[in-house]
């Protein structure tokens, strides 16, 4: 049931392509919340394959911290994923762009495929009074 729901969400997300400021179509490749690193690596592998198959496109990796998060958590998460894509999957550094998009209701990662000459419109959402950002030690997650 959970897999069916995920596939439905991905289908609906893909059905309406976003556009960039240049009017070129972009497309969301994947979207997920907090998952195990082993599961995330499988998704990153699929993302790397897609970026490789589209040699003129750029992969964007956007991370949004949740209401309860650690200071720097989104950046740390993005660095780990980008390093995996570059070192393990051999994606050139200039083909993967990561962004910390701020704070939302839940921790979320969204991966996009952006055609050459286009850029991805996104906004940074600062924390509000509803967000609790802790100074966590080590890799402890809230």
What is the per-residue pLDDT across 49-105, written as a single tens digit (0 to 9) for each? 999 999 999 999 999 999 999 989 999 999 999 999 999 999 999 999 999 999 999
Cα Dmax for the chain: 43
Please give the model's pTM, rounded to 2 decimal places. 0.76
Give the tens place of pLDDT for each residue, 19-54: 444 444 778 999 999 999 999 999 999 999 999 999
- As to burial, measured by CB atoms within 10 angstroms (0-12 exposed, 13-18 middle, 19+ buried), residue 68 is middle
What SS3 state is found at 2? helix
Provide the residue ranges of all domains of the chain, joining segments of one domain with +. 25-134
DSSP per residue over 73-127, as a string?
HHHHHHHHHHHHHHHTS---GGGEEEEEEEE-SS-EEEEEEE-TT-------B--
CATH number of 25-134: 3.30.1330.60
């Amino acid at each position: 049931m959970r897999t069916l729901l995920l596939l439905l969400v991905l289908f609906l997300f893909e059905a309406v392509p976003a556009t960039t400021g240049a009017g070129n179509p972009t497309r969301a490749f994947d979207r997920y919340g907090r998952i195990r690193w082993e599961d995330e690596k499988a998704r990153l592998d699929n993302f790397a394959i897609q970026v490789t198959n589209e040699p003129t496109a750029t992969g964007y990796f956007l991370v949004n911290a949740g209401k309860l998060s650690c200071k720097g958590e989104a950046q740390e998460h993005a660095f780990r994923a980008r390093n995996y894509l570059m070192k393990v999957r051999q994606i050139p550094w200039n083909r993967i762009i990561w962004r910390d998009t701020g704070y939302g209701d839940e921790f979320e990662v969204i991966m996009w495929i952006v055609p050459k000459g286009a850029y991805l419109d996104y906004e940074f959402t600062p924390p509000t009074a509803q967000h609790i950002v802790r100074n966590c030690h080590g890799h402890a997650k809230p």
